[in-house]
Structure 1
């Protein structure tokens, strides 16, 4: 239950920035290095949505994903772009005095993420960036954000009941639930709505552009 929102913690990829084609590119790069054949786009996007990409990974999938997320910041794709409404959503938060923290499963320097946010015209609207390089907390879920969410809460001195987490993946919702913050999902990550709801999403939005209207309702209901 959100009492009074002070902090909005946002996922980066497939939530604020569309990097799905970069994901496909890096996934194939790491697959090839592990001696596995590359996967074409139609099959990739189908398995991405079904959350079955692990079936294509030879050997230990956890070590594969560690290498993948370390590589992610070193590659760009010409189709990388900020989602429609991302800037306006962040502006809306700032206008109301809410802090915005960006978290990412990428294991890279925060400076690399700040640079991308700057390229997409979003950096001046973000208060903090946290990556997996900042978090040593282990979790059985490969893409868990629980540790990063707790770091963000501590950084801003905010109670979990005063924070919202916005992400596109079921693990994002599970992570937010475990950290005690309010989970909000967006559908721009190709995740089926039922899976997001099953893992704790309090709302499923079409995209980041719907966040201001949703938060307005939450704020009004808490006063």
Structure 2
């Protein structure tokens, strides 16, 4: 992400694409001032946290942890889920010291075929609520089909287009493969799937208010 002296961009702090073997234990550990979306595409993990939640997260059940002032959680990848693969997404909240909260969302389908699906955002029509001007959507784009950026009711938007899996042709000379992304501003290109692909779209605003001192989402070079 291109902002100078910063590992993030605006409200988007950090995106980790993880692959974890079954049976791995991640012991209880702290977070502060991070909004953390666990977005799995394969595998299952048992989650426990300091707010008293205990649940299984999978590619049909997502979780948003709002660390706020202080929060602890731990996970164990389950043998029956196979290899875990997904994104751990760290978003910057508007202000520090908010009350910790945890939200879960059961997806009706594992994939949203050729249509943007709302996952998390600062709007009442998003199932998981982020406490800053950030919106996250996903889609599975079928081979040879095309899509465009969604129309939005707000201005000054920046889009981070992330290919979780597959291959997408953005323009005649730009191609994105698994794990690659493009930051898009002031243009609306056509996206064509060279093969069936899984896409995650992050939307933020350059003039958004955010706290960049989070434990993992923060600006490490301040």
In the superposition, the TM-score normalised over structure 1's length comes to 0.29
Higher strand share: 2
Relative contact order higher in (CA < 8 Å, ≥ 6 apart): 1
Tell me which protein shows more helix as a share of its residues: 1
